[in-house]
Amino acid sequence: MATPRTTYVLVDGENIDATLGNSILGRRPRPEERPRWDRLLHFARDEWGQPAAGLFFLAANSDLPMSFVQALLAMGYRPIPLSGAPGQKVVDIAIQRTLDELRRREADLMLVSNDGDFVEALDHPFEGRRVGVVGFVEFRNGALGQLVDRGVEFFDLEYDVEAFTAQLPRVRIIPIDEFDPAAFL
């Protein structure tokens, strides 16, 4: 019997944290407002019906946040703390390299980021493989949305993945079939 293909979940920790803090909350998130990263791995497994492996990229130029690293390890992620020269986007560089490597492997991919820096890498076909982008729909780089024509699937971290225990104060376009007036009264 063949081994099932793996979905690699690549988390751009900086991008998601910055979007959450700067664009959604306007302040540093409290613990209950942070994503429950274990839910993301469960979502990836359930959504595509195969094992998922999480790689969590974070910039750690001089400080390694050991409690966060330990938590990621306990949830089944491989933390990838990176350092580089001042101004160097080490997380983006590492994710780009990982996308290039995944193109050579028989694996599927979920990229957790709103960052347009990955559009070019995702625009090149991952022949016969599933590719998804997870983030906050209203903050997704517009060029990422163009990739739907390439077969890229899109998931919202709050609404599809249900990665949060508290509702975030987001303003988004609501499909009429999802509209619940009780949520606004």
- What would the pLDDT profile of 114-166 be if each residue is shown by its tens digit? 998 899 888 876 778 899 999 998 998 888 878 887 788 999 999 999 999 98
Query: Which structure tokens are listed for 118?
Result: 């990955």
What CATH code is assigned to 7-184? Answer: 3.40.50.1010
List pLDDT tens digits, range 37-79.
Answer: 999 999 999 999 999 999 999 998 778 889 999 999 999 999 9
pLDDT of residue 125: 66
Helix, strand or coil, per DSSP, at residue 141? coil
Indicate the residue type of 93.
I
Query: Which structure tokens are listed for 50?
Result: 């195969």
Place of tokens 């919202």: 156
pLDDT of residue 62: 78
pTM listed for this prediction: 0.91
Band the pLDDT of 2: cuts 50, 70, 90.
low
List pLDDT tens digits, range 82-100.
Answer: 999 988 999 999 999 999 9
Query: Which structure tokens are listed for 80?
Result: 């990838």
Do the beta carbons of residue 28 and residue 156 sit within 8 Å? no
Indicate the residue type of 151.
G
Closest listed residue to residue 151, CA positions, set 89, 108, 93, 90: 108
Query: Which structure tokens are listed for 82?
Result: 């990176």
Residue 171: what are its φ and ψ, rounded to 5°?
-115, 120
Band the pLDDT of 30: cuts 50, 70, 90.
confident
- How far, in Å, CA of 33 to CA of 167, rounded? 8
Helix, strand or coil, per DSSP, at residue 108? strand
Q: Between 62 and 10, whose confidence is greater?
A: 10
Q: How many CB atoms lie within 10 A of CB 122?
A: 19
pLDDT of residue 147: 85
Band the pLDDT of 25: cuts 50, 70, 90.
very high
pLDDT of residue 82: 93
Q: Where are the domains of the chain?
A: 7-184
